[in-house]
Structure formats: structure tokens, C-alpha cells
Structure 1
Amino acid sequence: MVLQLYLQGLLISAILVLILSAIYAFAYLVRHSDLPWSVRRNRIFDLILVDLLTIPVLSFAFLGLLIILKTRAL
């Protein structure tokens, strides 16, 4: 049961982080279109690395919320 809730939290956090980072990346690329491509590419790579570190941590927060919601429903 906990594994199922963790996987749900992982999926929710992955979707949330990917949507937010896609919005940020699009806004950054539009605002900084005058920068060389290598600088913009490095910023996108940094964003991907931050996403990879943020998704598992955020999934534990969603796991806690899902457990609370699950126990309240019972």
C-alpha cells in the first residue's frame, strides 16, 4: 500500500515539476533569445539536473499528503 502511494506521489511530483520547468524554460528562452545557444543550453541542462533532484524529494511530500488523505477517508 505504501509503495503504491509512493509511486502515485512520484508520478504527481514528476508531472508537476515537468510542467513548471517547461513553463520556466520557455519563458527563459523567449526572454533571452539574444544569448548564444550554448549559454541557453547550459541553463536548460541545469534545469534538468534540478528537476532530477527535486522530483524524489517532492514525491515524499506528496506521499505524506496521500497518506493523510487516505487515513481521513477511512
Structure 2
Amino acid sequence: MQAVLSIYLKSLLISAVFVIIVSGIYMLGVISRSYNQPKNVRQNRIFDILLIDILTIPVLSFAVVAVLIILKAR
């Protein structure tokens, strides 16, 4: 049971780091392109990106769990 939990926590960390890096790059692009827009519009886009991150990390972590289990079985 602890082995499965450790694999899941590793995958959660991997997916969180990956999603944070990708969304950080995307946020920089959104902020630089929408500099002339009002602050509320930029803030809403950033909140949308954060919400997408919160929903994406657990789903991606299960995919990473599958890959880690396959790699561990080898």
C-alpha cells in the first residue's frame, strides 16, 4: 500500500511541476500580449489558467502513475 502511495505522490509532484512550468510560460505570454487590456480582464485570464491547473494536475498525475508503474515493472 505504501508503494502505491509513494508512486502516486511522485506522479503528483511530477505533474504539478510540469503543469506549473507550462502554465507559467503561458501566463507570461498572456500578460505580454494583453498589456493594453484592463486589469480585470488580465486578472480573469490568470484565474482561468489557475483553475485549469487545479483541474489538470490530478488527471495528469494518474497518467504519470501509469507510466511510472510500467517503468517500475521493467
User: What TM-score does the superposition give when structure 1 sets the normalisation length?
Assistant: 0.96
CA distance in 2, matches of 1:22, 1:37: 18
| Alignment partner of 2:64 out of 56, 62, 65 | 62
* Residue 31 (structure 1) aligns with: 33
- Number of residue pairs aligned between Structure 1 and Structure 2: 72
Task: Report the RMSD for the aligned CA atoms in angstroms.
Answer: 0.4
Runs of 4+ in structure 1 deviating by more than 2 angstroms, as ranges, are: none
Match of 1:18 among 5, 17, 20: 20
Q: Which runs of 5+ in 1 are unaligned?
A: none
1:46 aligns with 48
Cα distance in 1, alignment partners of residues 12 and 31 from structure 2: 28
